[in-house]
């Protein structure tokens, strides 16, 4: 691959990719870039990077790496947890199974007591032996004669199962109301009840709250509806675009109903002309681009919430388009897609960006003898799958971008044990200690200096743009 050098005179784009905890890593990188005075003209993002991009566009990145910032908020320990309905259902099923097994457990305890009594008689402790054997006999008679175990256990098991079914039905109805619309579900009724396994209520609530605090400034105004936050954000950025700390922004989500990627943009006049020039009326691009400065400005927070949703693992975010948009008031569902980095590269190239800095928490592909302990739980396995896809997608996207820009610079960790869902930290078997989200922010800061600032910006030497 040809060498290329960084130039502060070129139009520079910052591309942020990754899921979940990726936002904490990106916050550390933004801190380093800010300290080094790196000029950034456009911030483009998908996934957790959408929050970082929206904050970076309105000079609010300092809030992200603050020790009291959103990424270290205690509420995020519940991020991407099992849906409450599934947790309650799991407890109910476990209780029903325990009730069914209780006769065997009681017999086991009684048998142990009887065996101890027999052993006591063998060592000339007749009083203890008689006491234990008599207690064993009375316990069996009490529990296995009606109306104790034979009557109570079946009723308790039926009650536990009914509670489980009731919780799932209520959760399904509630989810249907929150999603809106009256579209029919296709598939077995049980799948409608079970739904997606993980909940994106967190980090969604915490991050939207943090965004609103940036938008409202010093005001103590309570948080309004999502569409109003979007409008206020757009007004703030458009009024200050071109001022120090304010940047153009592109964010992307995937529309499950239209089977298209959607790209939302807040751009300057010249970049908007280039963006619109690639958007023929009635063509496929008309269906895929959203200009937040127009009637769809209220969708900005929906894009943020949708970027935090994962395919299959979480329920998608419902988005209702304005009646005067391409989709004519339709209600679609959106989520993230790890491959959106390639779409963002195409978009920033189309608006005149000449060099890009790509930030990802996904470490490079493993070398021989680099395997680690595998996750046993389903949530952990999903996190491993997401991270693996992010790694391979980043490799392909950067390789294809090399021919389109004068420089493609990648900031990523050599080793990152914290998966997309590990907001509570994780034990790192490679270093035999526990790693936290605060440390991930610091790692992003260090990696920015190691991968980009010191070897490329500070040295002024020509270096290899993409490191594999």
344-370 confidence digits (pLDDT tens): 999 999 999 999 999 999 999 988 877
- Residues 78-91 have a mean pLDDT of 85
Mean predicted lDDT score pLDDT of the chain: 86
CA dist., res. 345 & res. 44, Å (int):
9
The answer, yes or no, to whether residue 149 has pLDDT greater than 70, is: no
Instruction: Provide the token pair at 309.
Output: 């949703």
Q: Is the pLDDT of residue 59 over 60?
A: yes
pLDDT of residue 143: 67
Residue 184 pLDDT grade (very low, low, confident, very high; cuts 50, 70, 90): low
- Report whether pLDDT(463) > 60: no
**What's the rounded mean pLDDT across residues 57-79?**
92
pLDDT of residue 427: 92
- Give 466's pLDDT tier (boundaries 50, 70, 90): very low
Residue 317 reports pLDDT greater than 90: yes
**Winning range, highest mean pLDDT, from 105-119, 136-150, 184-198, 391-405:** 391-405
Going by pLDDT thresholds of 50, 70 and 90, the confidence category of residue 182 is low
Query: Rounded to whole angstroms, what are the CA distances from 103 to 33, 84, 86, 108, 140?
Result: 65, 30, 27, 9, 10
Confidence category of residue 115, pLDDT binned at 50, 70, 90: confident
Residue 11's pLDDT band (boundaries 50, 70, 90)? very high
Residue 196: pLDDT above 80? yes
* Beta bridge partners of residue 244, listed in sequence order: none
Domains of the chain: 12-79+201-458 (3.40.1090), 84-194 (no CATH)
pTM of structure? 0.85
The predicted pLDDT at position 374 comes to: 83
Non-local (6+) Cβ contacts of 80 within 8 A are 20, 198, 199, 200, 202, 203, 310, 313, 314, 379, 420, 421, 423
Task: Tell me the three state secondary structure of residue 320.
Answer: strand
Better pLDDT: 98 or 321: 321
Res. 16: pLDDT tops 80 = yes
Which pairing describes strands 42-45 and 407-411: parallel, antiparallel, or unpaired?
A: unpaired
Structural element, H or E, at residue 409: strand 407-411
Check residues 449 and 102 and name the one with the higher pLDDT.
449
Per residue in 260-300, pLDDT (tens digit) is 999 999 999 999 988 888 766 666 788 899 999 888 989 99
| Residue-wise DSSP of 216-238 | HTT--PPP--HHHHHHHHHHHHH
Cα–Cα distance for residue pair 202/27, rounded to 1 Å: 18
């Amino acid at each position: 691959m040809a060498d290329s050098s960084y130039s502060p005179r070129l139009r520079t784009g910052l591309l942020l990719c990754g899921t979940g905890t990726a936002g904490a890593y990106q916050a550390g990188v933004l801190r380093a870039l800010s300290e080094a005075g790196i000029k950034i003209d456009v911030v483009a993002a998908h996934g957790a990077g959408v929050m970082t991009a929206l904050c970076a566009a309105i000079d609010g990145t300092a809030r992200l790496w603050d020790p009291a910032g959103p990424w270290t908020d205690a509420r995020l320990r519940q991020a991407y947890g099992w849906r409450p309905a599934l947790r309650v259902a799991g407890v109910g099923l476990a209780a029903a199974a325990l009730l069914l097994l209780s006769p065997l457990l009681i017999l086991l305890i009684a048998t142990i007591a009887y065996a101890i009594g027999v052993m006591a008689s063998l060592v000339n402790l007749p009083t203890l032996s008689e006491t234990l054997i008599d207690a064993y006999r009375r316990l069996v008679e009490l529990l296995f004669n009606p109306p104790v175990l034979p009557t109570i256990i079946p009723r308790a098991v039926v009650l536990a199962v009914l509670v489980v079914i009731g919780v799932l039905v209520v959760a399904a109805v509630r989810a249907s109301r929150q999603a809106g619309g009256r579209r029919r579900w296709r598939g077995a009724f049980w799948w409608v009840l079970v739904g997606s396994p993980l909940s994106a209520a967190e980090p969604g609530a915490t991050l939207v709250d943090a965004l609103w605090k940036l938008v409202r400034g010093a005001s103590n105004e309570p948080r309004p509806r999502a569409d109003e936050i979007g409008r206020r954000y757009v007004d703030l950025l458009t009024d200050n675009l071109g001022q120090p700390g304010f940047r153009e922004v592109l964010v992307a989500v995937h529309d499950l109903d239209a089977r298209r990627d959607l790209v939302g943009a807040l751009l300057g006049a010249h970049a908007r002309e280039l963006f619109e020039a690639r958007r023929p009326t009635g063509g496929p691009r008309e269906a895929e681009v959203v200009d937040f400065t127009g009637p769809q400005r209220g969708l900005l927070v929906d894009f943020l919430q949708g970027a935090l949703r994962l395919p299959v693992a979480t329920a998608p975010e419902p988005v209702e388009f304005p009646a005067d948009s391409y989709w004519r008031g339709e209600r679609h569902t959106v989520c993230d897609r790890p491959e959106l980095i390639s779409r963002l590269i195409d978009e920033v190239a189309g608006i005149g960006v000449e060099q890009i800095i790509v930030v990802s928490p996904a470490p490079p592909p493993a070398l021989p003898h680099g395997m680690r302990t595998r996750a046993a739980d389903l949530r952990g396995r999903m996190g491993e799958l997401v991270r693996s896809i992010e790694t391979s997608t980043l490799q392909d996207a950067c390789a294809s971008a090399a021919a389109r820009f004068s420089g493609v610079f990648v900031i990523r960790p050599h080793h990152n044990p914290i998966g997309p869902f590990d907001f509570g930290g994780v034990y790192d078997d490679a270093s035999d200690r526990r790693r936290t989200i605060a440390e991930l922010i610091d790692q992003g800061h260090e990696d920015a200096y190691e991968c980009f600032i010191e070897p490329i910006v500070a040295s002024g030497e020509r270096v290899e743009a993409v490191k594999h």
